[in-house]
Structure 1
Amino acid sequence: MTERKTSSDKTVLYFLLVWGLANLVQSYFTELHPDEAYYWLYSRFLDWGYFDHPPMVALFIRTGDSLFHNELSLRLLTVFSSTFSWWLLWQIVKKYQVEARWFVLVVSSVSIFHIFGFTTTPDAPLFFFSTLFYFFYQQYLEKDKPLFAILLSLSLAGALYSKYHAVLLVVFTLMANPKLFRRKSFWLVAALTLILFLPHVFWQISHGFPSVKYHLFERSATHYRFEFTGLFLIGQLFMAGPLVSWFWYKQIARFRSTDIFTRTLLFNFVGTLLFFLANTLKVAVQPHWTLIGFLPFVLLVSISLQNKPKPKWLQPLLYINLLLLLLMRLGLMVKNPVSMKIGVVKSYFGNPEWTETIRKKAGNAPVIFPDNFQNPSWYSYYSNSLRGFAYDSRFYRRTQFDIWPLEDSLQQKRVYYVTDQPLQQIKNDTLNTAKGVFYGAWIDQLRTYQKILVEANVKEIQTFPGKTIHLNLKITNPYTKPVNFSNASQQHKVVLRAYLMQEDSVLSNQLAPSNFNQIQLKPGESKFLPFDLKLPLQKGNYTLLFSVITPPFAGPRSSPFIQIHVQ
């Protein structure tokens, strides 16, 4: 038995050596995904939280990037942590007499692990800390000791600091094993995890809960689309392995838990899948969001295969499946006609050259990109600077650029404005880049108000056609410097407009009264502005949005959306 265990460990270790080296090579020769560049900017502004995510990904990136500056260093900790995670997962499943060869075949068949074995997004630390959770949880079930309770707390806190999806790990584990509430040590786990997570909670409170508002409300679609569900289901088939996923899902469907640990695995996998499937009713769900569910997936499939006859065709099919995944990985490193026809893959190529083309024109000046957090992130990373900035207009969503102090530092400076469409009434430079044609223009004495907050005294309005509604707008200055909306001696005029929309279409807009331009605000100060809103003559449901605009910029989402029901 000991010889077999040693032999099995060697098999897995050899696999992990190849796996780790492959991911190191992949990391070095694959350009950054736009999200990775965005999270690199996170690492330049270390904090307890960010608009989209908790801060662990920033620490992962900062650790590697502090050694040297290239794609490999950014991904270094992800490669090491993911490789070590598989060793821990092997320690878990080998207690169920799983064959090392089949564990390796199952792991290498799952597409999502080939992607996130090197890609550094919040999913990378989530993968690592969730693995630690399962590893310590298995031991905690066997031995109710304070040490395992503390280790469990540390792993849970790490997972929560990685991505909010870690909440699912907590919920489904408790659903699978409600007897945990009877353990005194469980309350130690709960209390210690909460204490460790409090700095992030305080960050959310101090910033007005931006992550909560975004994930629960701002990103929801206005109506359900069938493709949300269809694409999600197709995505889950691909993530589990392009050729073998159907067989793996079949194995899990037939699986019957034999103990509380495997019951926990089953609850976490099925629960995660159903949770995100339900979310497709209101939002487009990215296929990789279920990564946290694929950890128990691999463990369940590996356990279900042990001591059972396998179809003769399964192993050859797994090798073909692996070949396809390796070709996919090669396609991310080597530019080829097939890769350049796939949008998400095409985005991995040409970023350093694209950056250099723009940098030659802009020099050391800040570069602003509208409605796109990817381009300024790429530009900042590949120029190894903080010169890229995203102007998030009312047509786009809010991002971390709305929180960072970058906009503050650009005011009254000369900046270079880069778009993918020609700018009107401004002299344009045509930029022929490795990523297509872009247009640039110089803007002197930049004046923007991306962070100004406009709040109406109502959140929802029910009224009659053609009526005029009297609103009292509260305008707040969140900047650390005074704000003056006067247009006297200003090159770029500022106005406040109200936009009335239905679905995604703007039906009308209304200019605020001229006394708006008389408002001056000290840092943190608020003042009120009366506003008479004219409503449409047609009945229906509308959305109202206020925007503080300085051309040539379209104006940000200065206010929350206000629902209007004309009856």
Structure 2
Amino acid sequence: MKSKLPQIFIVILGIGFLINLLQSYFTPLIFDEAYYWHFAEKMSWGYFDHPPLVALLIKISSFFFDGELGVRFMSCVLSTATLFILWSTIDNPKKKDYVIHFFVLAYSMTLLNAYGFFTLPDTPLLFFTALLLYVYKRFIEKPNLFWGIIMGITMAGLMYSKYHAALVIIFILLSNLKLVFNKYAWLSVFVALVCYIPHFIWLSQNEFVTINYHLFDRPNDPYNFKKYTLGYFVNLVALFGLTFPWVYWALFKTKANDKFIRALLFLVYGVLIFFFISSFNRRIQTQWIIVISIPLIIIVFRFMMENEIVKKWIYRLGLVNIAIILYLRIGLVYEPMSPIYYETHGNIGLVEDVITEVGDMPLVFENSYRNAPMFAFYSGNNTYSLNNESYRRNQYSIDDSESKVQHQKILYLSGRSSDADVTFTKEDSSKMYGKYIDNFESFRKLKTLMEEPIDFKAGQEQTFKLYNPYDFDIDLNKLRFNVAYMTDFKIVRDRLPIKPKLEDTNVTSISAKDTLTYTFKFPKPKELKDPKYIRIGIMENGLNYGINGTNTKVK
């Protein structure tokens, strides 16, 4: 980072930063950004889906700006800094002659381009991956106390960005096993773990909800070659667009002639192999592998400076990629230019229609952690996602959003037209149906607990515990129970009501922070004769059954 930057580098980097600022200002939020904005409304050391850094970026952005730019400003800063760090990491005196080629390569990468302004967990992940590579390069050149501490802090930043960051750290360390004998490398690990202690504490206090969800509770589908493995290879192409043959050709031709290049190759191949193997178990999302873009910029740019053919084709096809990407980015703002109806379109108009109808009335959405924060962002109304057994748990399952809509008149919004009091139509002709509830009351944080594994047999008597985490008593007459039978992939096939009994029939309520033990008999499954997982759900006040229990494995 000591060498003087070429003026053209500063100019292009500055133009890219300004374009991202303008894009951020004029582009409505996507649903995930609204969800992470909801995170930032109450800062914490962790959240249901992700570590807290994405929320911190939004909180910092909100100090400088309002609206969409108040969500995205720090993403613009980090994406600009990422390119600066990558340029500084490349020690080649010829690079000053290829500034434009560097930017064509970087700006032609599709998702890397999008994360130039969208605020998602991958934004800080990419920044800290670039920074770790820069710091690691300096560390192997001069391992000392300073670089050891900086590398530890950088690894912590990675892990605070996204859990996938563990792959980046592991594969870099595997590329140089002699680090096991380096006291400053151990210092880095120690510093990283110390910095990460607040998140470990949060996980412990919240029953490791994030890890349990991602590793154990997520439903999955049976293996499908087209959807999983073939889809994975499609993602590898989508990351780079038209330049993909030359990007991977440069990767295949690059040899590990020093420790740093070896780390870059281990990181790319390690991530590719890890998610290829994972593709036999689940669908791989494109953003999960975006981290390879960072080492590949260094690898491919170095190769471009030595290979005229690759340089020529990446430059030509990269410009075409950039033109297509710019067209699509304009379409995010100006809908008539978009080839598809994207999620940035129509939301503001729909929010305005709903608010015209209800004013500042609280809004409760059925199964939508996407709509709840989007409406809260653009309306300022209190919102809540009421998650039932047909959906999944999310941040609304563990934060205090439920308390803000309790015992108030609310508009309950869903995709079901039955008993609707009002209908709203979006620009894409999709409909949202609303029903007024005069005194809304839900208890979605009630927990049902079963000992694992369960010995299942229809008609067999079983027990479960009901725990009340609230600071108030709950009338048991307001509750109904059911049992969900699931497949190996945690897909629910049967949802059957049960009538559990208490030992003391005189008990009519469950006290705050108290636990009751129920007995019940397993109802005979209608569809799934041999369930692999079982879960007890609760219906309160006639609402749909919730996700109150964990997926308990059957013997």
Q: TM-score range by the shorter chain?
A: over 0.9
Q: Give the corresponding residue for 2:535.
A: 545
Structure 1 residue 55, shift from structure 2 partner: 0.5
Which residue matches 2:551? 561
**Equivalent position SS for 1:164:** coil
Q: Tell me which residue corresponds to 2:137.
A: 138
User: Which range moved further: 431-440 or 468-477?
Assistant: 431-440
C-alpha distance in 1, partners of 2:22/2:506?
Answer: 57
Query: Counterpart of 1:83?
Result: 80
Equivalent residues of 2:498, 2:523 under 8 A apart: no
CA distance in structure 2 between the aligned counterparts of 1:522 and 1:222, rounded to whole angstroms: 40
CA shift in 2, pair 1:96/1:229, >3 Å: farther
1:377 is the counterpart of 2:373 = yes
Mapped pair 1:272 → 2:271:
yes
C-alpha distance in 2 between matches for 1:411 and 1:518: 25
Partner residue, 1:335: 335
The match for 2:452 is 458
Shift in Å, 1:104: 1.8
Matches within 5 A, 1:388-403: 388-403=383-398
Q: Which shows bigger deviation, 540-549 or 189-198?
A: 540-549
Q: TM-score, normalised by structure 2?
A: 0.93
- 1:184-263 aligned within 5 A: 184-226=183-225, 227-240=227-240, 242-263=241-262
- Take 1:74 and 1:326, find their aligned partners in 2: how far apart are those partners? 21
Correspondence list, 1:418-437, <5 A: 418-423=413-418, 426-434=419-427, 436-437=430-431
Matched, 1:529 2:505: no
- Pairwise mapping of residues 489-500 of structure 1 onto structure 2 (< 5 A)? 494-500=479-485
1:23 corresponds to which residue? Answer: 20
Offset of residue 102 of structure 1: 2.4
* Inter-partner Cα distance in structure 2 for 1:308 and 1:131: 24
CA distance in 2 between counterparts of 1:536 and 1:379 reads 39
CA–CA separation in structure 1 for the residues paired with 2:214 and 2:200 = 15
SS of 2:287 mapped into structure 1:
helix
Residue number in structure 2 paired with 1:349: 345
Match of 1:443 in 2: 437
Query: Deviation digits for residues 234-286 of structure 1, max 9, x if unmatched?
Result: 1221112x111121111101111221011101111111122222222222221
Is structure 2 residue 59 aligned with structure 1 residue 70?
A: no
Query: Which range is displaced more, 495-504 or 84-93?
Result: 495-504
| CA shift for structure 1 position 412 | 2.1
Which is worse superposed, 315-324 or 431-440? Answer: 431-440
Change (3 A) 1:563 1:43: same
More deviation, 522-531/111-120: 522-531
CA contact (8 A) 2:501 2:519 kept: no
SS of the aligned residue for 2:522 comes to strand
Supply the AA of the counterpart residue of 1:534. Answer: P
1:468 maps to 459
| Cα pair distance change 1:519/1:301, threshold 3 Å | farther
Moved more, 263-272 or 64-73: 64-73
In the TM superposition, residue 224 of structure 1 has moved relative to its aligned partner by 1.3
How far, CA to CA, are the matches of 1:193 and 1:67 in structure 2?
29
* Greater mean deviation of Cα atoms: 14-23 or 88-97: 88-97
Partner-residue secondary structure (3-state), 1:49: coil
- Shift, 1:458, TM fit: 3.4
**How many Å apart are 1:433 and its aligned residue?**
3.8
Q: Is the 8 A contact 1:357 1:433 kept in 2?
A: no
Cα distance in 2 between the residues matched to 1:535 and 1:563: 17
Aligned-residue offset at 1:525: 1.8
| TM-superposition CA deviations, 1:459-505 (whole Å, max 9, x none) | 33355xxx422211111112233323234xxxxxx311123345745
Shift, 1:518, TM fit:
4.1
Distance verdict in 2 for CA 1:542–1:428, change over 3 Å: farther
Partner of 2:284, secondary structure, is: coil
In the TM superposition, what is the alpha-carbon distance from 1:514 to its structure 2 partner? 5.8
Q: Shift of residue 313 of structure 1?
A: 4.6
**SS of 1:442 mapped into structure 2:** strand
- Aligned length in residues: 544
What per-residue deviation string (whole Å, max 9, x for no partner) do you get for residues 205-253 of structure 1? 111001111111222514212212222221221112x111121111101
> What is the alpha-carbon distance in structure 2 between the residues aligned to residue 291 and residue 373 of structure 1?
24
**Does the CA-based 8 Å contact 1:229-1:277 persist in structure 2?**
yes
Kindly indicate whether residue 497 of structure 2 is the aligned counterpart of residue 510 of structure 1.
yes
**Change in CA separation of 1:415 and 1:514 when aligned onto 2, cut-off 3 Å:** farther
Are residues 192 and 338 of structure 1, via their aligned partners in 2, closer, same or farther at CA, if it must alter by over 3 Å?
closer
Whole-angstrom CA distance in 1 between matches of 2:221 and 2:82: 39
Give CA deviations for 1:362-408 in whole Å, capped at 9, x if unaligned: 222210111111000100111134x1210111011100000111113
Contact 1:220 1:283 (8 Å CA) reproduced: no
Corresponding residue SS for 1:54: coil
> Partners of 2:402 and 2:524 in 1: how far apart?
34
Match of residue 127 from structure 1:
126
**Residues 83-103 of structure 1: CA distance to partner in whole angstroms, max 9, x if unpaired?**
011111101114474432322
1:481 aligns with 2:475: no
SS at match of 2:425: strand
Distance 1:100 1:477, change over 3 A: same
Q: Is the 1:469–1:535 Cα contact (8 Å) retained in structure 2?
A: no
1:310 matches 2:309: yes
Stretch moving more, 130-139 or 214-223? 214-223
1:405 aligns with 2:400: yes
CA contact (8 A) 2:45 2:52 kept: yes
Tell me the amino acid that sits aligned with residue 407 of structure 1. Answer: E
Deviation readout 1:25-78 (Å, 9 max, x if unpaired): 111111111000000011111000000000011110011112332112210011
CA distance in 2, matches of 1:508, 1:495: 13
d(CA) in 2 for partners of 1:135 and 1:357?
Answer: 50
Q: Distance in 2 between matches of 1:474 and 1:495?
A: 14
Partner of 1:490 in structure 2? none
Alpha-carbon displacement from aligned partner over 1:441-471 (angstroms, at most 9, x marks no partner): 11122121211110123333355xxx42221
* C-alpha contact (below 8 Å) 2:485/2:494 kept by paired residues: yes
Q: Distance in 2 between matches of 1:229 and 1:103?
A: 32
- In the superposition, relative to structure 1, how do residues 497 and 314 fare at CA in structure 2: closer, same or farther (>3 Å)? closer
Q: Secondary structure at the match of 1:460?
A: coil
Deviation for aligned residue 1:124: 1.1
Match of 2:65, SS state, is coil
- Would you say the 8 A contact 1:486–1:518 is kept in 2? no
The residue type equivalent to 1:336 in the other structure is P
Q: Secondary structure at the match of 2:195?
A: helix
Secondary structure of the corresponding residue to residue 527 of structure 1: strand
1:491 maps to which residue?
none
Q: Which amino acid aligns with 2:178?
A: K
1:14-53 → structure 2 map (5 Å cutoff):
14-53=11-50
Match of 1:416 in 2: 411
Question: Any idea what the Cα deviations from partners look like across 1:410-453, whole Å, max 9, x if unmatched?
Answer: 22222110112213xx3521223445321111112212121111
Residue pair 2:455, 2:554 contacting (<8 A) in 1 also: yes
Distance 1:271 1:544 in 2: 36
User: Aligned partners of 1:473 and 1:57: how far apart in 2?
Assistant: 38
- SS of structure 2 residue aligned to 1:534: coil
Asked whether the equivalents of residues 461 and 563 of structure 1 are also in contact (C-alpha less than 8 Å), the reply is: no
Letter in 1 for 2:239: M
Q: CA deviation at 1:557?
A: 1.1
Aligned letter for 1:521?
I
- For structure 1, the 5+ residue unaligned runs are 488-493
